[in-house]
Structure 1
């Protein structure tokens, strides 16, 4: 089943259930927010977030330079952002708060029929019901993720936060929270099976933890820390 969505290109990957605040300053996306706010009561106020593969999300003339020029190209798998809070600013822009809702794959992008991009999309499947393999993997991911957080966070009290037990929710939280590249996050978003996503996250967390431990194990002479940086 296909649907048509407004599309917002961003240099990030959104996952279901995750909060995404945005500052809207371009006129085309101000138009998008106004269109969403004007929807009838009960109608879905959501747009698709797609990570940028190459190019720049700010249109020429929007107040920022367009490095390199060229048309923006987008990844095919994205997540809808549901509009939860809108604050209109004095300059006509908006500060909005959205929450990731459901994954989709782009069938066709339309750059002409609206002031902003729209796309025909196909909804991607989400797990329904218990999955024993995913539940076993979730316990392992929680343990490894806590070790990973201990390496990247200075305050031990931050490690006491409760992690979700639901394997799918956990997989989305880990993908969005770990310090990963956009390409890594995009690959995780595109995985339909929760157990497969958790397995991929285990590999990534083990890789990142090993790199962090290696960096910390390399001693830095105090004389280097005390010396002023050399000019380029």
Structure 2
């Protein structure tokens, strides 16, 4: 890596307890194993993608995705592409790394990329000045390993409730419920990312270290959402008139 190239990750520490990662603030929550396509238009993140692409063959091409807690980024930058004061946002503490899988360079210099969630982390400290984009010192969070009888029992219950929930929101796509993974941890991430939950709900699920605890929380959320859906459908007006306009991520 050349001296003037922004850092992407402190590889010497990546397999330990902590690492330094570039951070991409978004209005959404990424979970391990889930696909996240992104359109990159800001110069600071174009620089990040270019650096990831130029890494040696076999080097991990990862950055951290963290949901925005308050505020929003602005496009104002200095001539060298660094964000100007006033564009700061407050980030949630827990995020997930995104591995770059596919890159399409656009005529205007931007990129369309496809990433996949890898592993969860907690932000220890954010550095807003070391690179054109945010970087952070992060602590890797534990991932469950081995058989967990409680999680397996809960997974069966979640699959049953989630299938009913999918039938309520997607009655014409029943085949989706037949493709649910049996692995409790993978299932917990898929349900968290797929159910129509708020960013705050998803963030709380991402921060849970234990698979069984995450599945229990999802059972409560799915039962809550199903009850709301039944209540809305009891109202004698078209569902479309009650729907809120979509918010951009």
Which residue, out of 177, 182, 185, partners 2:194?
A: 177
Runs of 4+ in 1 over 6 A off after TM superposition: none
Residue number in structure 2 paired with 1:5: 21
1:156, CA displacement in angstroms?
Answer: 4.3
TM-score (structure 1 length as normaliser)? 0.90
Which residue, out of 88, 93, 102, partners 2:105?
A: 88
TM-score (structure 2 length as normaliser)? 0.84
Which residue, out of 67, 75, 78, partners 1:51?
A: 67
1:169-218: CA deviation from partner (whole Å, max 9, x where unpaired): 00000000000000000000000000000000000000000000011012
1:88-125: CA deviation from partner (whole Å, max 9, x where unpaired): 00000000000000000000000001000000000000
SS state of the match for residue 115, structure 1? Answer: coil
Residue number in structure 2 paired with 1:202: 219
Gaps of 5+ in 1: 63-68, 226-232
Whole-angstrom CA distance in 1 between matches of 2:177 and 2:200: 29
Residue number in structure 2 paired with 1:75: 92
Gaps of 5+ in 2: 1-16, 79-85, 242-249
SS state of the match for residue 155, structure 1? Answer: coil
User: Measured at CA, do residues 121 and 152 of structure 1 come closer, stay the same or move farther in structure 2, by a change above 3 Å?
Assistant: same
Residue number in structure 1 paired with 2:55: 39
Residue number in structure 2 paired with 1:17: 33
User: Measured at CA, do residues 156 and 51 of structure 1 come closer, stay the same or move farther in structure 2, by a change above 3 Å?
Assistant: closer
Residue number in structure 2 paired with 1:65: none
Residue number in structure 2 paired with 1:66: none
